[in-house]
Structure 1
């Protein structure tokens, strides 16, 4: 069981992902914007940050950079339809962050989360 911070601005997607991860036994705190997720990171520890890239106020890459500063041991995974953006070195995303491209099956998400947390 992992403690996961989920940052996703699409409310229906966020609820869907949260429910799937909770069914898999994880504890999930969700946020609709990057700045809200950053506040959560400052309040408690998480095993994994699961974040969309394109969000209002603060995008997922900036959130991931700040998260890595707060807790260098926390795992980071981007869920995005813009994988090339996450993988572009110019964006300075944390180098060990994983990317899961949308669309994906919930089973694949849960498997990737469990692999990443176990590593």
Structure 2
């Protein structure tokens, strides 16, 4: 079981992702924007950051940079519906995984499990 920080501004999608990850046995703390995610990084330790890239407040790239600075071993996965933004995220955090929206919940959970196991 991993502790996951989920940052996603879309309420419905955030709920679906959280439930799928919890059903897979993970402990998930979810945030509706990047600023709240950065605050959560100051309070909790996480194994993985799963973040949208385009969000109100701090964007996902800024959240990932903060997460990496606090814990270089933390795994990072971006999800985005914008190809150009996803490319920027991949360049900013080459060790991170980038998934394109829409993403099937099973595929996302499988990828999270692979990243945690690595």
Normalised TM-score (structure 1): 0.93
Q: Which runs of 5+ in 1 are unaligned?
A: none
Output the CA distance in 2 between the equivalents of 1:94 and 1:68.
9
Segments of 4+ in structure 1 off by > 6 A?
Answer: none
Where does the alignment leave 5 or more consecutive residues of structure 2 unmatched? none
- Answer yes or no: is the 8 Å Cα contact 1:78–1:100 preserved in 2: yes
Count matched residues: 118
The answer to whether the 8 Å contact 1:61/1:86 transfers is: no
Structure 1 counterpart SS, 2:5:
strand
Distance 1:49 1:13 in 2: 16
Pairwise CA RMSD? 1.4
Deviations 1:23-59 (A, max 9, x none): 0000000000101001111111100000000100111
Q: What TM-score results when the alignment is normalised by the length of structure 2?
A: 0.94
